Amino acid sequence: MNDDLLGRHRAVLPDWLALYYDEPLEITHGEGRHVWDARGNRYLDFFGGILTTMTAHALPEVTKAVTEQAERIVHSSTLYLNRPMVDLAERIAQLSGIPDARVFFTTSGTEANDTALLLATAYRRSNTILAMRNSYHGRSFSAVGVTGNRGWSPTSLSPLQTLYVHGGVRTRGPFADLDDYDYVAACVDDLKDLLGHSRPPAALIAEPIQGVGGFTSPPDGLYAAFREVLHERGVLWISDEVQTGWGRTGEHFWGWQAHARSGPPDMLTFAKGIGNGMSIGGVVARAEIMNCLDANSISTFGGTQITMAAGLANLTYLLEHDLQGNARRVGGLLIERLRAAAAHVPAVREVRGRGLMIGIELTKPGTDEADPAAASAVLEAARAGGLLIGKGGGHDTSALRVAPPLSLNVAEAEEGAAILEDALRSIQ
């Protein structure tokens, strides 16, 4: 670690801009599923820049597309026709499952969710939003206002009236002891009761699997059951696919498809993995919703040519190499390997997730009390063993987040699982 760089970081950047590790890491380059630090140490990357390096580090197809586009033109704004933007929008609209879809590109998931909230409130003429407890939707003023995770919500001020709904965390809360059928029924009853005490909401925004919340999720079908209640009242459903999209869950291309009984959402938001490190976010919505704004709007950097070229190349690679299928196969092996390892570690409360989106929740042994110190210790031990992972959770950041690039192979999954098993055992 360059100590001078750390000092410079602390002198000029905000105190709240968190850094992992007691000795923060400078990553200098990457290839495939590996990265290197400034000291030349090599790490197996199981976090991908917070689920953003989706296919692989330095993927030649993406690097080539970015280089060739940069040699032509980097940027022109949405005031001019943009062929790469139209090309990518056409593909995403078709993949979204939303009929008569329109796509608006942004530079981040935060901005995508912010845009979806703007559209929903304008379309419905309501500033009331339903959101899930333990949720995270970004760091803008409106996105913080619908975030149900105290650790990521620095202010209670908001342009929105937000009402929080049960259901996003299956194994905690007042309905945790119910079976899946009764759990869904209880959450639906709670939603109906909430709607009876509030002004008509604009929308429900929900992550199919909560990302920052520690990769928690409800039983399959919960959001379909919610959708049926909401549809009767004209309330929109926004599926926040910033972390669950593009096949990461293995079983489905989008997280909402685990709740598909009542069809696709009215809107979905995306970001992170589609650019494989380039800054791309966006919203897909039915045309009548997307076109409801009655004032001018553009995006200076959303949909810029160089990021669209990266997104097109990345999406093509993902589809042609069936990385969703790989996430299902290799992710299934990895989660079973981690569950077997965790069975011998009393501090592990739960290993959960699907595909290559796996959470390991740590508590003080014999209790449900969160243990963030244990999570930090495992993070450090994993790094010492040559593995990078993440943290999250709604209970004092006591969940480990495992989300490798979707091209992970079986040998790398086994290697990472062995390192993580040793790191978990080290805290006993």
| Share of residues in the chain with pLDDT > 70 (%) | 99
What type of residue sits at position 163?
L
The answer to whether residues 339 and 244 belong to one domain is no
For residue 127, the enclosing domain spans 63-320
pLDDT > 60? residue 148: yes
pLDDT tens-digit profile of 295-306? 999 999 999 999
- What value does the mean pLDDT of the chain take? 96
* Residue 265 to residue 223: CA distance in whole angstroms: 9
Q: 49 and 81: one domain? A: no
- Residue after which a domain boundary falls, among 288, 320, 352: 320
The pLDDT of residue 30 is 98
Would the CA dihedral through 180, 209, 267, 126 be positive or negative?
Answer: positive
Confidence (pLDDT) at 262: 76
pLDDT at 3 over 80: no
CA 228 to chain centroid, in Å, comes to: 25
Cα-Cα-Cα-Cα torsion 17, 20, 21, 22, nearest 10 degrees, comes to 10
What is the average per-residue pLDDT within 127-139? Answer: 96
Based on the fold, state whether residues 35 and 148 are members of the same structural domain: no
Instruction: Note the pLDDT tens digit of each residue in 80-110.
Output: 999 999 999 999 999 999 999 999 999 999 9
Are both 300 and 373 inside the same structural domain? no
Domain count, the chain: 2
For residues 307 and 351, membership in a common domain is answered with no
Place of tokens 């009331």: 128
CATH number assigned to the domain comprising residue 412: 3.90.1150.10
pLDDT tens per residue, range 212-271: 999 999 999 999 999 999 999 999 999 999 999 999 999 999 999 999 887 999 999 999
Over residues 412-417, the mean pLDDT reads: 98
Do 246 and 368 fall into the same domain? no
Q: How many CB atoms lie within 10 A of CB 133?
A: 17
- Report the SS3 class of residue 43: strand
- 1 has pLDDT over 70: no
Same domain, 47 and 75: no
Q: 1-5, 57-61, 334-338, 387-391 — which is least confidently predicted?
A: 1-5
Helix (H) or strand (E) holding 109: helix 109-124
- The predicted model gives 129-133 an average pLDDT of 97
Give the least confident one: 201-205, 336-340, 395-399. 395-399
pLDDT exceeding 90 applies to what percent of the chain? 94
pLDDT of residue 151: 86
Query: Do residues 309 and 180 both lie within one domain?
Result: yes
**Are 392 and 380 a contacting pair, CB within 8 Å?**
no
Which of 204, 172, 143, 155 is closest to 396 using CA atoms? 172
3-state secondary structure of 241: coil
CA dihedral 119, 120, 122, 123 (to 10 degrees): 100
Among the three residues 320, 347, 375, which one is the final residue of a domain in this structure?
Answer: 320
pLDDT of 428 reads 83
Residue 99 in tokens: 């009929």
Residue pair 362/378 in contact by the 8 Å Cβ criterion: yes
Work out the pLDDT band at 128, boundaries 50, 70, 90.
very high
Mean pLDDT across 43-66: 98
Summarize the confidence of residues 341-352 as an average pLDDT: 95
Q: Is 131 in contact with 249 (CB distance < 8 Å)?
A: no
End position of a domain, from candidates 274, 303, 320: 320
Provide the pLDDT for residue 107: 97
The pLDDT score that the predictor gives to residue 211 is 95
Structure confidence at residue 156 (pLDDT): 87
37 and 68 in a single domain? The answer is no
| CATH number for the domain that contains residue 90 | 3.40.640.10
DSSP for 80-91, written as a single string: S--HHHHHHHHH
Is the domain of 302 the same as that of 333? Answer: no
Name the strand (E) or helix (H) holding 181.
helix 180-195
pTM of the model: 0.96
Same domain, 260 and 311: yes
| CA dist., res. 326 & res. 330, Å (int) | 6
Question: How high is the pLDDT of residue 150?
Answer: 87
Q: Are residues 111 and 245 in the same domain?
A: yes
CA end-to-end distance (rounded Å), the chain? 28
Q: What is the pLDDT of residue 89?
A: 98
Q: What is the pLDDT of residue 396?
A: 74
